[in-house]
Structure 1
Amino acid sequence: MGVESRSRRVRTGVVLFCSLLVFLVAPLLLVFTHGHTWARHPAAVEIKVSSLDKRETSLSDRIDALLLHKRNATLFSRALSYQAATDKGIMLTCLMEEPDINNVQDYLTRNKPGISATSPWNDFGAIAANGWVRDRISAPIFDPDEYVDIFGGDEANNIYIKWDQAQEVVYQGVTYRPSGGEYGNLFNAEAGVIAADFNYSPQNNAPPGTLSNQIVPLRSWSDVVFLTWQQRCSSRGVAVSSLRKIFRVTVSGTDSLNIITQAVAYEGGSMDASWGNKVRMPAGHPSFYAVLGTVNGNFGHLTITAVSYFFHDDSKNLYFEIAPYTAPSNPP
């Protein structure tokens, strides 16, 4: 596979990942009817996204079949939001594991009009061109020692990069005023780690009344972070696809916390669980898809294998484990 093909696949991931941390919005209620066996024994109804033969079924058919399988479960009446988010988690997993970008785009065109499977952003210079300025004063929420304890790896390879959308620019003939967007993230290319530390989009921070077309085109967390990650990997001699761990530092959204609280309880864990006792939700568990449904997830032709919750230094955090996707050699 050529460099261009690999780059395109990684860029595809940026959009499908489409703000792993920005879209923590879907309200879920992880409630099951009458202590249903699904809640007691997740493995008994484990959702096998890779269980359908990709040679015989289309991407849409596979997703539809998996969603139909899930909907056979009996849920409380308030579980509709949970169902919607779990559907989303299953869909995202299928999209992550689909090797053909054309199939992904076809699915998005028919089901998510207006969303592209690839991103136009591939030049690091676009960050400055869109009025993003490096903030060299701010520090991460966790201090470097804490990051090393949690991530592993060499502290010397950690770098905290915060971008502020703070400069008025003329981009492609249009003048854009500063929005106040802030993206602060810690990167460790050698360890394959991104820690989303302090992130508020231009849309969130822009003055009241600001229209979408008044905000710079390069605005999403996923694009800004990918360009930064790509630049960092290049400077360190590391493959862009080496990403293995993504941390969401301090989850604060009410809807997301409601989802996570119920998912943690579903797994028999505690919201006070430390890093050493983190609540791990492997792919296939309903709780995994529920939490994944609160985000969007992909970075290259990789797949999320588990999501964990842990409490550290008065903050509630998520940890996503990532691995290269390998299709089953003998699909059933």
Structure 2
Amino acid sequence: MSLSPKPRLLLAVPLPDDLTAQLESRCEVVVAPSGHFPPPDQLGALLPTVSGVATTAYCKFNADLISRCPDLRVIAACGVGLDHIDVPCATRRGVLVCNTPGLQNSTVAEMALALIFALARNLPANDAFVRAGTWRQHQVGLAIDIRGKRLGLLGLGGIGGYLATAAQALGLTVVYHKRSRDLAAEARGIAYVERDALFRGSDFVSLHLPLNAETRGSVGRREFALMKPGGFLINTARGSIVDEPALIEVLTSGHLAGAGLDVMDAEPIGADNPLCSTPNIILQPHAGGATRETRRRMEELTVRNTLAALEGRMPDIVVNPEAFQARQA
């Protein structure tokens, strides 16, 4: 009796040895060229031979790439956002798309809060002040209190909800705007405001939107002009939501006091990117969910999703269940 061949898996996400071993025991694992930053031309050469892909947001799966995969059953993303995957195309071709939502809500909220603290208290500038040896010669610049300020949340999902609770505990007034009212949040004292009022009245504006055709570039010159002089922008959502040239202009002019970005329009950026030479900006390498505990939970779920799909079972998390149903028909 011949054994069925193991399904072939393209691994484009770095995993710890024990989780990689789990995959290798049940799949033929092919590690993507260049780790989790595989160039599309190299991906194209591998995809026709694989049944599954485990990936990060840095690996783009457009319709052209998906169409080159006659045996593809699953694209398992280790992360929440799906703007790097053409989900409608995958669904039409019966390819399951999985992700890891909810696991990093509190972790990303902590990053947003850390950026608020760092900006309000001038932490990068003060660190440089001490390291430069100028503490004895000059007085440190004054920071601002967080307590009593207003935090505006554009979008209010799981991450925004965690951030709102923490901010309220610190004495900030929290307001939000989203398409549909969240009455449970309002019962907790998070006030709904119109979009323009959120930008106009907030000391800190924190973005918590998905990236799609409507939100791409939706926070730009008009929104920055509405913001208070001395206001701050926080983005831990998706970099392409923000018009980066407009942000650079408003920071350089001094209208905004600062920005904290964990995400950028094109990632990863190099040292020559204009953001790196813009004053009063704190940049992080899309590390909002990058804690040991959260990353482990995301990796474990990615492995479970991948193996379930390759073995014909419904994954724990699948964003297009109709593709699974079509496969079972």
- Max Rg structure: 2
**TM-score calculated relative to the size of structure 2:** 0.25
**TM-score calculated relative to the size of structure 1:** 0.25
